[in-house]
Structure 1
């Protein structure tokens, strides 16, 4: 295939990464909309064109890296700039470091293409990228906000097949279509180069041969879309029904929510607001109420919780409403008898000993049942968890709320059903945890029939952050085929059904509550049963490809015998 190797202009090297970043941002617009999401299916083509052109010119590695990094840092900045609302330095660090990490699979692709040729090189690209996305779900620096499959959150009707593949299936879709369109573009350019004086005097065979990539690209676009529409059209909500209330107290975390704020609302008044908003929506059919993340914010020692005045007040309130269970966000503390018994995240004070602080959820099945505690497990790096590798850098960064390492737990707790609603087994999901498809799927695998999300979106002010987080909940509903009840301190409070459709959404930034009848599905999807097959498979394939590429490169450097 003949291609011009004339030097790439500086304008082209600048314009192409900017175009790529704008197209990649289409799945994370400030106000999520399905109309722009299809641009993800062409978003990587500018990068592929630029990378190939620079490679054919023999451009230095640093030049290729600079163009690649420019596109990725712009993509991160355009989509996650709102992190800087809480702390400017942290927002900049998130953009710069995440873009740098994203360069790793693209650099691995270039080295594989160099050693194994174009065919294996382009095949390796989606494998390396998805292997990286899988890694980004589980390591200490986890930040999977821009996982490509999450980009379809604004268009849940197009990805109903996530119940089989999970959101990494969307990442595969993006790469397959982009690579097919890129191949079509290359062959189209080759076809034009063969035409004398740009005439149209080419054979039908040539045209058909060149356009086979277009046929495959259209098939790759239309087949998953048609499958999704068919699944969505035929899917019916499953399970018994029950009535649930979600509450939004609307307390500004910078001003009102926490002690020391300039307009701090006393904790007794905060609790009164939660109770009053709940009662405004309560009916004799209500079985469950959700209060948001850190709704009970005072420090509650777990071993003496029952003696706390607020807990006694909650129990007295529940006694006035028999048959109602309560799931609420809470901050708890647990002490350890010795250093040997303490967890890795435990801290020490002379007057207390070893202890952990937890961003937690508490479940009251009724007025007298023992309180069940869940400790948030997927913690925000730099805010709730400081990875050891970055502890010296991040320990002084303020992203909102407590800074340091919270305690956590390994297993997914599913709360036992109350006596009057035997099908109601709620999964306590706290804010950031709803980004993780496999993590939320573990709740359904453990028997959850309803996803209960408690969050405090107001850390990010009125920004795309809380809108995108709401959309991610739609994907989790499709993957698990569970309804989701969402209680935000402020942001968006409401309900999402098993098809990922938002059925109720209350206005942000006002005290309110919402009531709905939800379905309690007991069936498990393929994705829930088997988890991230795509991600794990990509990681295995990535390791094998890297080993082969390294061995081939090493053998080529060996002198001939």
Structure 2
């Protein structure tokens, strides 16, 4: 295994260097897996024992390097609790993804035992997609490292995401890497020149055809003129001072002042960031809440405007009405807390959306009470003060004039299909409200911004992004960032965006690729098990 370790490490380094927000190195994704494939092939062809264990170990090491290098910033959100706690807890997001990736590689090895190389490599793509889809669907979801996200800084290359979503990028990367690997193996094994020529031709075409189609689409894409004026506010309030240190009314005053500094008479939407109103508000009487009234009073000068703001809300029940409801001090009374987006108008109409894709640990407790002993530590992962109740499905906020906005709260912006659901329901642009200050001035905030470009391409919707301490921005339907703020700067920006009501193929069909790939992966696992047992019976 030692002689193959440098190959695994090289794969990890190549993938890390290629990952956002590093510019000009995206092309390394096309060869990043080749050293790992070579290392696995060397082990498979060797006479050593415990080949599966060697492959799993090497894959984990290489992918651990890639993951830690790309999401090192997770540690920054934890270090407030001290290094003795932060370091081991950081290993959960650092290690879980690599473990699942290594499992996919181990299953590839098991598939090689019962079928040929080419079929096994095709199976590896499905097994990898199955891991990615699992990692966006279960309680410990963290799809940050979905392979198709790697093109976020080179969005001109993947305009066809409007048909495939990010999983099309995953397939593209693996297809090119596998062809490069087969070309190298062909040279090493002295395969027929004609076969090598076919592989080289396929390699070139697999890169050039999607790239050419994308560049053609990018430079010929024209937005339909349907302007709406939107203001995005970045109050730049330290997330560790939001609750308790700076009074809520003062924080709201800051956002009102910034909003007025750029507002126009025709401004139709104001965006304030996640938890912009930091005091909990009872949803049943929210119209009478002093902080709600303060925000609504600001709109009096802007009669046709809608304010979309983040806030923390709660709701009482006479029974344990939801799985997340907790008992209160009053017998028989239960309550849910929510990280909410609130749509405020001059009228009495209030729209409330509860964040659905919650950060594991920070905002939701994975697997019920199993990990309850970690709750005090997890509270510092994203700044939440306890478990939130989620909303069942995506939603749309409508302005008084009928414009549909998709309220997306922070972590939710990395789920393509979830964002697409709101677009199917009528959202004409995407409004992201977030608070990225927990990660400090690291690549986390830049990656989060870059991933928003993918949502713009998938849905062909403008993205308006209000970040408390991150980077606020406007992104057009091609994925171009047309305007953005600086990090850790108090600012407000305005933009005339073009609304769009047409639905892309991806919006209409969602994550059909990973669902298909996952189904095939399950069949392959069943095939491996059945064939493995059959081989044992034959041997006996």
TM-score in same-fold range (> 0.5): yes
Q: Which residues of 2 match residues 123-522 of structure 1 at below 5 A?
A: 123-191=122-190, 206-238=192-224, 240-254=226-240, 256-259=241-244, 264-339=245-320, 342-351=321-330, 353-364=333-344, 366-388=345-367, 390-397=370-377, 398-419=380-401, 422=402, 424-522=403-501
Task: Tell me by how many angstroms 1:189 deviates.
Answer: 1.5
Q: Which residues of 2 match residues 93-108 of structure 1 at below 5 A?
A: 93-108=92-107
- 1:16 alignment partner in structure 2: 7
Q: For residues 148-204 of structure 1, give each alpha carbon's deviation from its aligned partner in whole angstroms, at most 9, with x where no partner exists.
A: 00000010000000000000000000010000010000011123xx9xxxxxxxxxx
Cα distance in 2 between the residues matched to 1:489 and 1:288: 17
- 1:5 alignment partner in structure 2: none
SS at match of 1:312: helix
Contact 1:42 1:177 in 2 (8 A): yes
Cα distance in 2 between the residues matched to 1:133 and 1:393: 28
Task: Tell me by how many angstroms 1:403 deviates.
Answer: 4.7
SS at match of 1:418: coil
Contact 1:73 1:95 in 2 (8 A): yes
| Structure 1 ranges of 4+ moved more than 3 A | 206-209
Cα distance in 1 between the residues matched to 2:299 and 2:117: 66
Task: Tell me by how many angstroms 1:478 deviates.
Answer: 0.2
Task: Tell me by how many angstroms 1:112 deviates.
Answer: 0.8
Q: For residues 480-532 of structure 1, give each alpha carbon's deviation from its aligned partner in whole angstroms, at most 9, with x where no partner exists.
A: 00000000001111100000000001111111000000011000000000111
Q: For residues 416-452 of structure 1, give each alpha carbon's deviation from its aligned partner in whole angstroms, at most 9, with x where no partner exists.
A: 2323xx3x21000000000011111111111100100
Contact 1:382 1:403 in 2 (8 A): no
Q: Residue 291 and residue 208 in structure 1: after superposition, are their counterparts in 2 closer, same or farther (change >3 A)?
A: same
Cα distance in 1 between the residues matched to 2:156 and 2:348: 41
Contact 1:435 1:473 in 2 (8 A): yes
SS at match of 1:395: helix
User: Does 2:46 align with 1:57?
Assistant: yes
Count of aligned positions: 526
Task: Tell me by how many angstroms 1:559 deviates.
Answer: 4.1
- 1:77 alignment partner in structure 2: 68
Contact 1:27 1:154 in 2 (8 A): no
Give unmatched runs, 5+ long, in structure 2: 79-85
Q: For residues 251-302 of structure 1, give each alpha carbon's deviation from its aligned partner in whole angstroms, at most 9, with x where no partner exists.
A: 0112x3121xxxx222111111000000000111211100000000101011
Cα distance in 2 between the residues matched to 1:440 and 1:430: 10
Q: Residue 324 and residue 208 in structure 1: after superposition, are their counterparts in 2 closer, same or farther (change >3 A)?
A: same
Cα distance in 2 between the residues matched to 1:149 and 1:317: 42
- 2:505 alignment partner in structure 1: 526
Contact 2:359 2:382 in 1 (8 A): no
Cα distance in 1 between the residues matched to 2:436 and 2:347: 31
Cα distance in 2 between the residues matched to 1:268 and 1:292: 15
Cα distance in 2 between the residues matched to 1:167 and 1:489: 27
- 2:35 alignment partner in structure 1: 46
RMSD: 1.6
Q: Residue 446 and residue 171 in structure 1: after superposition, are their counterparts in 2 closer, same or farther (change >3 A)?
A: same
Contact 2:59 2:101 in 1 (8 A): no
Cα distance in 2 between the residues matched to 1:92 and 1:555: 39
Contact 1:28 1:468 in 2 (8 A): no
Contact 2:55 2:106 in 1 (8 A): no
Contact 1:19 1:46 in 2 (8 A): yes
Cα distance in 1 between the residues matched to 2:33 and 2:386: 37
Q: For residues 539-559 of structure 1, give each alpha carbon's deviation from its aligned partner in whole angstroms, at most 9, with x where no partner exists.
A: 111122222222222112214
SS at match of 2:72: helix
Contact 1:395 1:403 in 2 (8 A): no
Q: Equivalent of 1:32, from 22, 25, 32? A: 22
- 2:534 alignment partner in structure 1: 555
SS at match of 2:272: strand
Task: Tell me by how many angstroms 1:28 deviates.
Answer: 2.4
Task: Tell me by how many angstroms 1:63 deviates.
Answer: 2.5
Task: Tell me by how many angstroms 1:393 deviates.
Answer: 4.9
Cα distance in 2 between the residues matched to 1:401 and 1:215: 51
User: Who wins on radius of gyration, i.e. which is larger?
Assistant: 1
Q: For residues 298-335 of structure 1, give each alpha carbon's deviation from its aligned partner in whole angstroms, at most 9, with x where no partner exists.
A: 01011121111111222222123222210000000011
Q: For residues 195-233 of structure 1, give each alpha carbon's deviation from its aligned partner in whole angstroms, at most 9, with x where no partner exists.
A: xxxxxxxxxxx4343232111111101111001001111
TM-score by length of 2: 0.95
